Structure 1
Amino acid sequence: MTEIYDLHCHSTASDGALSPRDLVSRAKQYGVTHLALTDHDTVAGVAEAQRAAEMEGINLITGIEFSTTWQSHCLHIVGLNLDPSHPLVAEGSHAIQTIRNERAEKISIKLEKKRIPGAFESVKKAAGDGMITRTHFAEFLLSQGYVDTLQGAFDNYLGDGKPGYVSTQWPGLEEVVNWITASGGIAVLAHPMRYKLSGSWMRRLLIDFKEMGGLSIEVVSGRNNPDEINTLARYAKQFDLAGSAGSDFHNPKNIWVELGRLNPMPDFVTPVWHLFETKALTS
């Protein structure tokens, strides 16, 4: 049986459209054998996903996607194979949830100034016990007819420099990497091409990331084209980082991103799941 790893996806515990149980069932449907649930800044969905994975016969890797700030850049760091009950994971999640709630209130105030009322109440209800993300605001704007697409919400209201944008200071990169490594996990730089860094800035980031304890870079993702994969694979090789692969799946309505539908990892890159095996042997 061919092993298919998808180590980056989201459920209703953050800004995904499917419950953890339904997400695991869909992963099974699309042939995924090893799945990591990596909700934004929370592990609230892991227990439900684990129960579903046991029923479906899928290997679940515990995960999370933390928001962080490095050199005034907002980055996302995925933590894989960590202990979800570790105190630092809980404390980090709580701290970021406070930041997210404060940001949500500020975004809502800005939208009200543009004569768009009721945003905070709507996104809070939609998020439930999960993390409030900008995607919740995008869905609100779409449902109320202010935009025609989710991307339109970011382009016109929520993106940098737009009326509803709020600059946010997340916990520092070194602190976030420490939360992950202290809980037994592997820190992965998520979707590096999304940050639109120059080559010199990317190299500077990877030097810092590795010195702080980062071990992997997301080489293959649901939106990367072959040229981007080759570029990221060369970075992985240059900085001796393992390569991770994840769809960053959020919603089945997005036909361009699907669970398990990923390009192969380049042969010269060490897959991050090999580090799971090493960790198990040395723990």
Structure 2
Amino acid sequence: MNVSYDLHTHSTASDGTLSPAALVTRAAAAGVDVLALTDHDTTEGLAEAAVAAVGAGLHLVTGVEISVTWGGQVVHIVGLGFDPDDSNLQRGLAGLRRFREWRAEEIGRRLEKHGISGAYEGARGYSNGHLISRTHFARFLVEQGYSPEMRKVFKQYLTRGQPGHVAGEWAALDQAVAWIHAAGGEAVIAHPARYGMTRTRLRRLIGEFREAGGKALEVVSGSHSKDEAFTMAKHTRDFSLRASLGSDYHGPETPWTELGRLSPLPDNSVPIWRGWPVFTTAASA
């Protein structure tokens, strides 16, 4: 029996548009057997998702996507299969969320100076009372007519050199990996092709990640082309890492990253789930 995995998704606990329960229901309907909920810098949605997973007959893997600053650039590290009650992990995530709140307020102040009023309050409304991300600001700016679509609004307002950009220091790479491992999980570099790094710089990131104890690269991603997936698979072989895959699904508004539509891992990739108890359970269900 083929088992369908999606190990990178988001809910309203961060910047997704479906509740954790609705996300699980949609994933099950799409044929996903094993799902990881990996919200940004929070595990708040996991309890609700776990209850929904039992009802949907789907296996839920605990997950989180941790914001990291490496070499002056933001990268994301996904944690999988950890104990969400680990106190060290939760202290680290709480610190990142405090910074996120300050950053959101500062983005609002900067956009206000640029003549865009109510951006912070508008972004908070989209967040449903949870942490505020740049995606929530982007949704507000599109709704208000400042940009025609989500794909353009970041470049116009929220990236370096634009009026709503706020730089910041997130977790260190080795720190994020240590939090995940201390909680019993495995660390994965999320969508590595998306960072726009040169081959040399990306391989330096991968090398430092592996030295810190990192276990896998996200080879197949909703934002990777087939050629990028094959390139990332080669990096996993070169660095003796495993391969993960995930849609990076945020909601039905982005159908190009739909749940359950991922390509298989390239041949000769060692999947991160090899040896997981859930793999045996799902395969025999």
Q: Is the TM-score greater than 0.5?
A: yes
- The CA deviation at 1:160 is 1.7
Q: Is the 8 A contact 1:30 1:260 kept in 2?
A: yes
Alpha-carbon distance between aligned partners in 2 of 1:19 and 1:68, rounded to the nearest angstrom: 25
The correspondence of residues 21-40 of structure 1 with structure 2, limited to 5 A, is 21-40=21-40
- Aligned equivalent of 2:200: 200
- Amino acid across the alignment from 1:122: G
- Aligned equivalent of 2:283: none
SS at match of 1:209: helix
Q: Is the 8 A contact 2:80 2:187 kept in 1?
A: yes
2:173 aligned with 1:176? no
- The CA deviation at 1:126 is 2.6
- Aligned equivalent of 1:62: 62
The correspondence of residues 8-19 of structure 1 with structure 2, limited to 5 A, is 8-19=8-19
Q: Is the 8 A contact 2:9 2:36 kept in 1?
A: yes
- Amino acid across the alignment from 2:167: S
TM-score normalised by the chain length of structure 1: 0.96
Alpha-carbon distance between aligned partners in 2 of 1:39 and 1:195, rounded to the nearest angstrom: 19
- The CA deviation at 1:229 is 0.7
- Aligned equivalent of 1:78: 78
- The CA deviation at 1:208 is 0.5
SS at match of 1:220: strand
Alpha-carbon distance between aligned partners in 1 of 2:87 and 2:224, rounded to the nearest angstrom: 34
Q: How many residues align?
A: 280
Alpha-carbon distance between aligned partners in 2 of 1:226 and 1:126, rounded to the nearest angstrom: 33
Question: Once the two structures are superposed, what CA deviation does each residue of 1:110-131 show, in whole Å capped at 9, x if it has no partner?
Answer: 1001111111122223324422
- Aligned equivalent of 1:250: 250
Alpha-carbon distance between aligned partners in 2 of 1:262 and 1:96, rounded to the nearest angstrom: 30
The correspondence of residues 1-283 of structure 1 with structure 2, limited to 5 A, is 1-277=1-277
Q: Is the 8 A contact 2:127 2:136 kept in 1?
A: yes
SS at match of 2:267: coil
Question: Once the two structures are superposed, what CA deviation does each residue of 1:192-229 show, in whole Å capped at 9, x if it has no partner?
Answer: 01111111111111110001010000000112111101
Q: Is the 8 A contact 1:79 1:185 kept in 2?
A: yes
- Amino acid across the alignment from 1:224: H
SS at match of 1:252: coil
- The CA deviation at 1:65 is 0.2
Alpha-carbon distance between aligned partners in 2 of 1:94 and 1:126, rounded to the nearest angstrom: 21
RMSD between aligned residues: 1.5
Alpha-carbon distance between aligned partners in 2 of 1:214 and 1:61, rounded to the nearest angstrom: 18
SS at match of 1:101: helix
Alpha-carbon distance between aligned partners in 2 of 1:195 and 1:5, rounded to the nearest angstrom: 24
SS at match of 2:257: coil
Alpha-carbon distance between aligned partners in 2 of 1:155 and 1:26, rounded to the nearest angstrom: 30
- Amino acid across the alignment from 2:271: P
Tell which deviates more after alignment, 256-265 or 33-42. 256-265
Percentage of pairs with the same residue:
47
Q: Is the 8 A contact 1:61 1:81 kept in 2?
A: yes
Tell which deviates more after alignment, 41-50 or 117-126. 117-126
Alpha-carbon distance between aligned partners in 2 of 1:230 and 1:131, rounded to the nearest angstrom: 34
Alpha-carbon distance between aligned partners in 2 of 1:223 and 1:19, rounded to the nearest angstrom: 22
- Amino acid across the alignment from 2:242: A
Question: Once the two structures are superposed, what CA deviation does each residue of 1:240-273 show, in whole Å capped at 9, x if it has no partner?
Answer: 0000000000011212111121111112011001
- Amino acid across the alignment from 2:205: L
Q: Which runs of 5+ in 2 are unaligned?
A: 281-285
- The CA deviation at 1:2 is 2.3
